[in-house]
Copies of this chain bind each other. A is one copy, B any other.
Amino acid sequence: EKLTIGLIPADGIGKEVIPPAAEVMDAVLPGKFEFITLPAGFELFQQTGVALPEETVETLRTKCQGALFGAVSSPSHKVAGYSSPIVALRKKLQTYANIRPVSSPSVRNAKNQDVPVDMLIIRENTECLYIKSERLETDENGAKVAYADRKITEFASKRIGRVAFEQAVARGKLREQQKQQGIKVGWTGKPKVTIVHKSNVLSVSDGLFRESVLAVKNEKPEYADVDVEEQLVDSMVYRMFREPEKFDVVVAPNMYGDIISDGAAALVGSLGLVPSTNFGDVVVIGEPVHGSAPDIAGKGIANPIASIRSAAMLLENLNFTAEAAKIYNSVDKLLSEGKILTPDLGGNATTKDVTAAIISNL
């Protein structure tokens, strides 16, 4: 029986990279998927006044086994009535974990060594400043004063902590298998979880995030073998660039996770390479980490790799592990050959060229 996959290209290059991802899914499992395209985005809002139609959410919730989201445009001015559809979607479908693998066979560290990077960033996806509870007041001089609430719960912090420890253990097992098969692995140490916070300033809220994730370590015997370390968010950004080889699984509250995953993308060469899934109990939504890139939208030169890798992550979630591996390998081959690359990677290939090459390498 067919699986239904919702495609929400949304804005800008989202519309150019989601169809290639669907094409690759279809190439690796012909006829297995029925794709339905669902509307959302800032452009939709400009036309209809609605950024995320209720029907899109309901279709994802009731009909889809998985989804792929493109990217949304960010109006720089505050637009009355507009609110980011991806933030709303994550909340409505309770995709509580944003999972962002960042890897590269070789990156230059601060000691001028070529090191492998093999990080998995686990971003909490439902709270922190993203609850968007803000208010505007006026001070005694009539000047504006704004407040935003940052919410951190023990519940969501433990939930994301569990994702981090589970992933650390699973990655550890996979690496053992790979080592036995003689496959070179990126991260070679014991499984490790790095907790990112700023509890030296936010002792209550980040203190709660920290202690909740730490507490997860004692929940299962198999977590005992996972090393745990902490990094203040400022220091994390610094160290990630100085010694990127030292990170395995990294877990962070929503906003810090947003920032460090873009930083990590710079490390491995391009935002156009970094995939993610919005993971939860209802439906998994693959999503490239990059934005809608208005500067290159419509030119046919957007890098489809982040989306294609997001499709592979989605396949893993649907238990098509072997098919996902085929996609990863095909992408890795393309990158290591370094011939057919979009401009963000210094090449002059088009979105279509890259997609065709990945499909033919499968």
A residues contacting B by CB (< 8 A) are: 74-76, 78, 83-84, 87, 110-111, 129-130, 132, 134-136, 139, 141, 143-155, 198-205, 207-208, 210, 212, 230, 232-235, 237-242, 255, 258-263, 265-267, 269-271, 291, 346
Main secondary structure on A side of the interface with B: mixed
Is there contact, CB below 8 Å, between A129 and B201?
A: yes
Contact of A262 among B153, B155, B235 (CB under 8 A): B235
CA distance A291 to B207 in the complex (A): 19
Is there contact, CB below 8 Å, between B110 and A269?
A: yes
- Given A143-B154, A259-B259; A205-B238 close (CB under 8 Å): no
A78: chain B residues within 8 A (beta carbon): 199, 203-204, 207
CA distance A262 to B269 in the complex (A): 20
Is there contact, CB below 8 Å, between A238 and B271?
A: yes
A232: chain B residues within 8 A (beta carbon): 74
Is there contact, CB below 8 Å, between A146 and B136?
A: no
A153: chain B residues within 8 A (beta carbon): 139, 143-146
Contact of A204 among B111, B135, B151 (CB under 8 A): B135
- What are 30 sample pairs from A and B whose C-beta atoms fall under 8 A apart? A74-B199, A76-B230, A78-B199, A78-B207, A84-B201, A87-B201, A110-B266, A110-B269, A110-B270, A111-B346, A129-B150, A130-B201, A132-B202, A134-B203, A134-B204, A134-B205, A144-B153, A144-B212, A145-B151, A145-B153, A147-B205, A233-B258, A234-B259, A234-B261, A234-B262, A235-B291, A237-B259, A237-B262, A238-B266, A241-B267
Is there contact, CB below 8 Å, between B134 and A202?
A: yes
- Given A136-B204, A267-B241; A152-B143 close (CB under 8 Å): no
Is there contact, CB below 8 Å, between B238 and A129?
A: no
Is there contact, CB below 8 Å, between B266 and A242?
A: yes
